[in-house]
Amino acid sequence: MNANLCTLCLGLSAVVYSTVSNDECREVESVDSPWHTTLGAVHQSSLTCRLCSLVMEGWSQSRAVQVEQASLQADFNIENPPPDLHLPVYEIPVYRYGARIKISIYSEPGLTWVDGGKKNQMGEWHLVFACNVEILSSFEVHDSLEAFLRVVRECDEDVAGGIRRNAICTPDALQIFPAAPGTKAEEYGGSIASVASSNPLSTQSITIAKRWLEHCVREHAETCHASGKPVGWIPTRLLEIIPGSTKTYLRERGSIEVDNNSENDHYVALSHCWGVRGTPFTTTRKTLPIHVNEGIDISELPQTFRDALILVAGLGLQYLWIDSLCILQDDFEDWANEAAQMADIYRHAYLVINAANSSGDTLGFLGEREAPDVVRLPAVPSSSTTSHLDLNLCLQLLPHANQWFSLGEGPDHLRKEPLSTRAWCLQERYLPVRALQYGTRQTFWECQSMRASEDGYLCVLRPEEQGGHVQRLVRTANFSRSVFARGEYREAHTEPDGMYNWFHWYQMVQDYTARDISKPTDRLPAIAGLARAIVREKGRGDAKLEWEMENEYMAGLWKSGLLEGLFWCKAAGGDSQKQQQLIPTEEYVAPSWSWASVLGAVHFPVYDWYRRSARWKAKMADFEPLAEYVSHTVESIAQDPFGGLAGGGLTVKAPLFSVRKVRSRQDRPPQSETLFGEPPRRSGVADKVYQLQDGKNNHIWVEGGMDTALTDDQEGKETELAVLFLFRLPFTLDHGFFDQRFGLLLKRLDDRCFKRVGFIDGVLLKEAGPYFFKRLKIVGYHQDMSFVSVDSLGLEKQEVTIC
């Protein structure tokens, strides 16, 4: 934390009085002191100056976010990106030599909590180091960069004698004084948040966790409760924590007294990674009576379990649920019964602890944590006017604004933690009413009304945002607004981003399939709890509605969002996952039309396509369905409609083509010879182009790809395939439109059934040019807008069954 500062950093000078109000967020003052004038100079100084190093790190983060957003928004040609797109920021000339550096300081309200009935708020002071450039074109991806540094005090327990409040010490003469007595700022408080403690069991850390929990229980009664929980419900077995004892005892449900006035149903559930070799300590049919009658020696438990017991005791709670200890691991019937209750166990828990930073039970999750990115600042000598400036305070590098702790579609603060790599742990993150999450650097809080982090960031959700992750899934479940044509013109600003039918469910599936799972047959059971929770929330206690919703569930898809869910493919390479071929499961897991039938990260392109390229055109670029649902069957294992499957089939009515030829996709995007305009964006994972023939002997080409790699016996047999179109997109231009098609590649198994083997995603193409140099060109249609919704191929539909 201690580090040298360069002469220019020591010379920063600004004196600012805090006058922030409760609802105010404003820039207080620009810092005009001489400082480095180019990014190149800051980079050179960063080799020895810790503050310059933090600024460079912040600018690098800002650049990474900038590149990611530009990629998502298609601000440049992905097949011909800017040459400096992935260079380190200090090697890009426009930044290194041509940028203008500006430093600003501003204040804003910060953390809110309730302590002893009194509301306290934290005043936040931030330094923003901006690297401004003149933007010539968005295609170059040279936006300005910003590094955010927050003024914080060190953890009280890290400094002898503690730290006083309402005063800040910063480089040399950079001072922020407490507001004068009687001002609005004094009423506001002005306390300074501290750096998260490196010890998650420190008094400071435990106190913060207790305050979060107590505040939620007291203030969030209307929002932070699990709907439908029976009075006094608890899991089949729980671990009892006895203060001062060296043992913990496994208690059966019948031995725990629970009534309306009892707190014995206030159990805690642990979400954790077992580890590569599994957890080293379990309960079996043989050890059950021993764990009940003689207890379990805590010293024999793996570190994660010991940590959980210590933490629960520190929070003043008595009962803990751990899957490997509370479920009989060698009893299939007991495991199946408890797995069916998994949603209830996590949904009805008083609190869930996420051991997010631990990759295995032997490692624990409450060890010493990484130090935050901070630089301690030299103290300003005391004087008659600054008598309280004798504190050890720091500047802390914050994530870029678009990466700050947030709910909804924003980046996930646990995304890079080990727990977020495990498939089973996803529903353990989504289901809880309230959760305490232990990350690599600090502790986080999530409940259905509030999000908070140990270093002082907190978000109290607006009423329409309350409900947590499950409610977010419910919000677009069987939703009236979809990506398909709705028959009315809509201005772009009236289209809420992400609020389309089943959008959040399929977005969750994308996250889920990118995670690791030990048993492929758990692919559906591991999210069964989420499907069941949606059915309950949508049913609202109405048995008929719940039955109808339950019958909508189709092997990880939903009937009212069938076309969106059928059109999946392998995920393109990105920040968190490498592009890889999907792998077929060795054992039967799901029908071939379900994403659960393969292993690997899948993607549902229709939503991204609509959000990035079509939404702004409203009615002129809505998807048009070509396939219709007829019927489906699923054969469930253990009578659980949301769990494992033994078989299933789907019948739809849709256009079906035979494949005549297959060739590799040409590198250069095809163009149109008849219409002027930018064609739709190509699929990032399609690598083949297929020639199709309909009953009228018309030949067209369309791009697509196989779901899994071809085996040796499949090579050269791709012409035995068929294409089924699911929907189309008339991509309108000034004088006509291109016709984009989305569908499935099928292989006939027998006279009754096809198997899905790939996908179709591309505009209709035709061969053009002399016979010795034919190239594929986009088919352009010159019809006016009245013909856009008419299928340009005029195809007949037939019933097709996919197994």
Which residue type, as a one-letter code, is found at position 646? A
- Identify the bridge partners of residue 445 per DSSP, sorted by sequence position: 436, 452
CB 424, CB 433: distance < 8 Å = no
Q: Are 639 and 722 found together in one domain?
A: yes
Q: What pLDDT does residue 494 have?
A: 60
Q: Are 661 and 758 found together in one domain?
A: yes
- 33 domain residue, yes or no: yes
Give residue 378's domain range.
7-193+372-402
Which one-letter DSSP state was computed for residue 613?
Answer: I
- 73 domain residue, yes or no: yes
Which one-letter DSSP state was computed for residue 180?
Answer: P
786: which residues sit within 8 A by CB, 6+ positions away?
none
Q: What pLDDT does residue 784 have?
A: 58
Phi and psi at residue 113, in whole multiples of 5°? -150, 170
- 486 domain residue, yes or no: no
Q: What pLDDT does residue 251 have?
A: 96
Q: What pLDDT does residue 170 have?
A: 41
Q: What pLDDT does residue 160 have?
A: 36
Last residue of a domain, one of 470, 500, 520: 470
H/E element holding 740?
strand 736-748
Q: What is the 3-state secondary structure (H, E, C) of 569-634?
A: EECCCCCCCCCCCEEECCCCCCCCCCHHHEECCEECHHHHHHHHHHHHHHHHHCEEECCEEEEEEE
- 477 domain residue, yes or no: no
pLDDT tens-digit map of 567-580: 999 998 654 444 57
CA 432 to CA 93: how far, in whole Å? 49
Longest Cα–Cα distance of the chain, Å, equals 95
Low-confidence residues of the chain: pLDDT under 70: 1-3, 13-29, 73-74, 108-123, 136-138, 155-192, 260-262, 378-392, 400-411, 457-466, 485-497, 573-579, 611-621, 694-698, 711-719, 772, 783-792
450: which residues sit within 8 A by CB, 6+ positions away?
212, 215, 216, 220, 458, 459, 460, 461
The tokens 């001072």 sit on which residue? 175
Which one, of 783, 663, 658, 769, lies nearest residue 716 by Cα?
Answer: 663
Which residue type, as a one-letter code, is found at position 425? C
Q: What pLDDT does residue 159 have?
A: 40
Q: Are 377 and 357 found together in one domain?
A: no
Q: Are 210 and 348 found together in one domain?
A: yes
Which one, of 23, 26, 6, 41, lies nearest residue 128 by Cα?
Answer: 26
CB 500, CB 437: distance < 8 Å = no
Q: What pLDDT does residue 231 have?
A: 85
- 1 domain residue, yes or no: no
- 82 domain residue, yes or no: yes
- 25 domain residue, yes or no: yes
CA 459 to CA 435: how far, in whole Å? 15
Last residue of a domain, one of 352, 384, 402: 402
Q: What pLDDT does residue 413 have?
A: 80
What string of DSSP letters covers 463-512? Answer: GGGTTHHHHHHHHTTT-S--SB--SS---GGGS-TT-STTHHHHHHHHHH
Q: What pLDDT does residue 186 have?
A: 37
316: which residues sit within 8 A by CB, 6+ positions away?
210
Q: Are 392 and 285 found together in one domain?
A: no
Q: Are 527 and 416 found together in one domain?
A: no
- Identify the bridge partners of residue 798 per DSSP, sorted by sequence position: 654
Q: Which two tokens stand for residue 56?
A: 């460079």
Phi and psi at residue 48, in whole multiples of 5°? -125, -20
User: Computed from CA positions of residues 39, 43, 45, 46, in that sequence, does the dihedral angle turn out positive or negative?
Assistant: positive
Q: What pLDDT does residue 113 have?
A: 42
Q: Are 168 and 74 found together in one domain?
A: yes
Q: Are 14 and 154 found together in one domain?
A: yes
Q: Are 598 and 747 found together in one domain?
A: yes
Q: At 557, is the secondary structure helix, strand, or coil?
A: strand
Which one, of 775, 767, 658, lies nearest residue 719 by Cα?
Answer: 658
Which one, of 219, 218, 221, 196, lies nearest residue 207 by Cα?
Answer: 196
Q: What pLDDT does residue 579 have?
A: 54
CA 197 to CA 154: how far, in whole Å? 8
H/E element holding 765?
strand 765-768
Q: Which two tokens stand for residue 511?
A: 């996250």
pTM for this structure? 0.82
Q: What pLDDT does residue 387 have?
A: 38
Q: How many domains does the chain have?
A: 3
- Cα 230 to its chain centre, rounded Å, is 31
- 342 domain residue, yes or no: yes
CA 272 to CA 306: how far, in whole Å? 13
Q: Are 366 and 376 found together in one domain?
A: no
Q: Are 219 and 273 found together in one domain?
A: yes
Q: Please, is 188 exposed, middle or buried when counting C-beta atoms within 10 Å of its C-beta (0-12, 13-18, 19+)?
A: buried
Total count of residues recorded for the chain: 803
Q: Are 419 and 537 found together in one domain?
A: no
